[in-house]
Structure 1
Amino acid sequence: MEKLSSFSLLCFLSLAILLHVQPISAVESPNSEPNKATDFIRTKCNATSYPELCYTSLSGFANAIKEDPARLAKVAIAVSLSKVKHMANYVANISRQADKGGNRRLASALDVCFEEFGGAVDGIRDSLRQMKRLGRPGQSQSLGFLISNVQTWMSGALTCQDTCTDALGEIDYDGPVKTDICDRVVKVYDVTSNALALVNSFAETVAAP
């Protein structure tokens, strides 16, 4: 079996702890549960806007997800949070470079992006915390109310990313920095969009009679 990289292993273990699941043996039979889980992920991802991206970004966590739509939504949100946090840090570094380079309009747009991605991080982090509250003993708020909050915050995170793109689009500058940032924003946006779609799918299963 091909060895996992240390980074991949760290990501898997972090999500396993996050979701409070027990580790599963790495040796699986051809008809094992992880294969059922990957089929489950594929099916759910087919309903998202970017199904292949959805599958490739989540199938590595099949052992943690199993065939549980709530866990699938949690992992999707966690993956989105990681991408958005990385993007916020990247924009912060590029913004400092733009400041030093004297491109004030680009620097100003990147400042907007940094602020918006900071807001997106907050919203997605709150969404993940809310998802972890589902089914907790003593939870007084309704399941529908909790999921509605998640949907609102994840939608807000997408709006933040749109605002960054709009800010960059308004400046009269078509250099490589702008192109690079816009391309990266699109990729992060797609991951977040998929996460929201999976949250919506989970909400539908909860609302079903």
Structure 2
Amino acid sequence: MERNSFSLMTTLVLIIIYLLACTAIIFAASSNPADFVRRSCKTTLYPDVCYKSLVSYAPSVKHSPHQLAYAALTVSIDRVRSVSSFVAHMSARPKPNSFFENERSIEGGVIRDCTDNLKDSIDQLKQSIKEMGHLGRAKASRYAWHLNNVETWVSGALTDETTCLESLSQSTEPKVKAAIRKKVVEAAQVTSNALALVNQLGTH
């Protein structure tokens, strides 16, 4: 009888140890910074783009929604700067003396309009990143005000990127238009994701 009791007790202890080990494994997995980034990105419109662009920041972000949003804004401004340089290069292409020189001139003007919109987007993203610094140190009574400023500037940046796309008219050479559109759309997706992560700060 005592042997059976001992055997039962041993079995219970082993089960408890097993359950504790499973719990530890689950907790370790859920506390992985990369998993935090993946879960946070699910709230965005482009979760795959979000995760791929931010997973390298996971070690520094850890489990901080504020740091993740800050990283997203940093990625966004870097992406828009890159696109702006690309579009500016397209507008500076040499224009051959031909029957189509006037069309080329119109195309250059359209592309420059797009570049101007991207520069405005960069300025607004700079403002949002600066405001994020204030947000991190803000008292509770001022937190919502700073957060609203960040949201306003990121939203404005996204609008500028959309306006750039809309400015590409029929006068733009199809291949050039497609190349610019692809890069601007990719930048806009990153900015959209950054805005979604910033908006999430209002729920924490």
Relative to the length of structure 1, the TM-score reads 0.77
Report the Cα offset of residue 35 of structure 1: 6.1
2:170 is paired with a residue whose SS is coil
Match of 1:159 in 2: 159
1:56 is paired with a residue whose SS is helix
Runs of at least 4 residues off by over 4 Å: 31-35
Report the Cα offset of residue 175 of structure 1: 2.1
Residues 111-150 of structure 1: pairs in structure 2 closer than 5 A: 111-136=112-137, 142-150=142-150
Distance 2:194 2:62 in 1: 17
Q: 1:202 to 1:140 in 2, by over 3 A?
A: closer
Larger radius of gyration: 2
Identity %: 34
Given candidates 77, 84, 94, the residue that maps to 1:81 is: 77
Report the Cα offset of residue 171 of structure 1: 2.6
Residues 184-199 of structure 1: pairs in structure 2 closer than 5 A: 184-199=183-198
Match of 1:50 in 2: 46
Report the Cα offset of residue 157 of structure 1: 0.6
1:135 is paired with a residue whose SS is helix
Deviation string 1:14-52 (CA, Å, 9 cap, x unpaired) is xxxxxxxxxxxxxxxxx8699611111111101100001
Amino acid at match of 2:142: S
Distance 1:136 1:33 in 2: 31
Distance 1:195 1:143 in 2: 18
Please, which runs of 5 or more residues in structure 1 have no aligned partner? Answer: 1-30
Alignment root-mean-square deviation, CA? 2.4
Q: Which has the higher helix share?
A: 2
Report the Cα offset of residue 87 of structure 1: 1.0
1:47 is paired with a residue whose SS is coil
* Contact map agreement 2:110 2:172 (CA 8 A) in 1: no
Q: Which moved more, 1:126-135 or 1:151-160?
A: 126-135
Deviation string 1:135-188 (CA, Å, 9 cap, x unpaired) is 338x797111111011000010111011111110x3334521111001111111
Match of 2:62 in 1: 66
2:171 is paired with a residue whose SS is coil
The count of residues paired between Structure 1 and Structure 2 equals 174
Relative to the length of structure 2, the TM-score reads 0.78
Match of 1:92 in 2: 88
Report the Cα offset of residue 126 of structure 1: 0.7
Distance 1:40 1:140 in 2: 25
